Amino acid sequence: MIKQESRNQETKISKIQPIIGLILLVLIILLGNHVFKNGGTMTLNLITGAILGYIFTRSRYGFAGGIKRLYITGEGSLTKALLIMFAISAIAAAGIHWGAAAKGAVPAFMAGVGQAVIPGTGSVGMINISLIVGAFLFGIGMMIAGGCASGTLTDAGEGSVRALIVMLFFGFGGIIGLIAKHGFSETALGKIGARVYLPNIFGYIGAVLVTFGFLLVLYCITRKYEDIRKKKGTYQENIYEADELPLKEKGQFKFFSYNTYHKFFVERWSFTKGAILTSVMFIFIINTTGNSWGVSGGYPLWVMALLDKFGIEFTSPALAGNVKAIQNGLLNHGVTLRNLGMIAGSAVAFLLAGRFKLDYKFSIKDVVFYAIGGLLLGFGAMFAGGCNIGALYSAISNFSLSGWVYLVSAGLGGIVALRLFEGKVNTIPARFKK
């Protein structure tokens, strides 16, 4: 159920922000045309990022909220929408994997030189100590920082200064995490682990059924928790602001009217719509790039590129890939372009809705928490092998058992952070507000 905030629904938006939004759209297209000269895939990365950013902002969709929102309000519509997203993505990925396997392709971790690889299976990760520890730290970080890797990008596009602070420290934490992961992987303990690709055990139909079984368990847990909160009287309905709700129809339909504009560009999309559209874009990424979606790798790369401008050299073998990417140019880096696209797409969504504004309401104490959260996000993501996009969503949807391990560990980390810091930092409000 959706509750409406008491605001005047008749208030129309300013014309300046939509114009700026259209200009930004043109700039995205021009940048896309520029990077197309470096390869069509780069343009696709930019455009898909912009679309994802628009979807996330328009539907107020995100991954960290799947835990945080449920914990704070007891209302699980976002959590259930995420489960729908996983289900749709898994079904579509099964078709891609099965079709490729029928033509002789194999999972990426099993492929030899010159052998065809099943698209998306680069996300089949190792289940090991670094995954568990890194995911747990990432879960803590995303609550303290106020968002995960993708959420930080969209928050930045919406005007959040907090997100910019988190991004910087995410990058520094990521650099440390890459070095730590490289060193740990060389130890005897770091070599213990396994990759589990569910279709190798259950077949493709079985892998989908197993995935659905896990999702059903999470759905039941969510519904049960909602019932507990309702019984305690601490359940809070999903609240839309007045200008996010559909406008009342007045007279006959007119295409050139504010009502139509509001329907197309202002009215908030549901979490379920966000889930479905995100699934579509996820599969689009696999089909067009052969790889799955990842976000967190861009953060340490950006900070390294910034430090490189000040003459700082990076000699660790763990950073060699990023050094090469910097030398090749960031506009030739797919994750960078997709991440920039997400920021721009989110900005476009808020500008077209006339809702963009800089948000800098925080204290020095909050900044310290943002920095700590960013460091934990970066370190955790790199130590685990990805964030809750690459190592969780992409892994689960591509039938890697590691994704489920990541989900449990990150979820526990998130709950620990919520319990410890509830009401103590402005990113984690107190529960049970009346």
Q: Coil, strand, or helix at residue 236?
A: coil
- Nearest Cα neighbor of 386 from 367, 373, 405, 368 is 405
Task: Record the tokens describing residue 207, joined without a space.
Answer: 């892998």
Residues 6+ apart with CB under 8 A from 43: 32, 33, 35, 36
Reported as half-sphere exposure (CB side, CA atoms, 13 A), residue 265 has a value of 23
- Eight-state DSSP code of residue 127: E
What pLDDT is attached to residue 34?
75
Neighbours of 321 (CB within 10 A): 12
- Rounded to whole angstroms, how far apart are CA atoms 20 and 211? 43
How many whole angstroms separate alpha carbon 262 and alpha carbon 302?
A: 36
Q: How far apart are CA 1 and CA 21, in angstroms?
A: 31
Residue 77's identity, in one-letter code, is: S
The answer to whether the CB of 149 falls within 8 A of the CB of 377 is yes
The amino acid occupying position 127 is I
C-alpha–C-alpha distance, residues 339 and 150, integer Å: 8
Tokens of 306: 């910034």
Torsion angle, alpha carbons of 210, 211, 216, 219, to 10: 160
Q: What's the confidence (pLDDT) of residue 431? A: 80
pLDDT on residue 256:
83
Q: Quick one: pLDDT at residue 11?
A: 56
> 235-249 pLDDT, tens per residue?
998 888 888 888 888
Break the chain into its structural domains and give their ranges: 14-421
Taking 3-state DSSP, the helix, strand and coil percentages for the chain, each rounded to the nearest 5, stand at 70, 5, 25
Stretches where the chain sits below pLDDT 50 are 1-9, 434
Taking residue 271's Cβ as centre, other Cβ atoms within 10 Å add up to 25
Question: What is the per-residue pLDDT for 434?
Answer: 47
- The reported pTM is 0.93
Largest CA distance in the chain: 73
Judge contact between 350 and 142, C-beta under 8 A.
Answer: no
What letter does residue 7 receive in the DSSP assignment? Answer: S
State how far the Cα of 371 lies from the Cα of 381, in Å rounded to an integer: 15
d(CA 385, CA 135): 9
pLDDT of residue 432: 64
| Contact present, 143 and 421 (Cβ < 8 Å) | yes
| Residue pair 387/138 in contact by the 8 Å Cβ criterion | yes
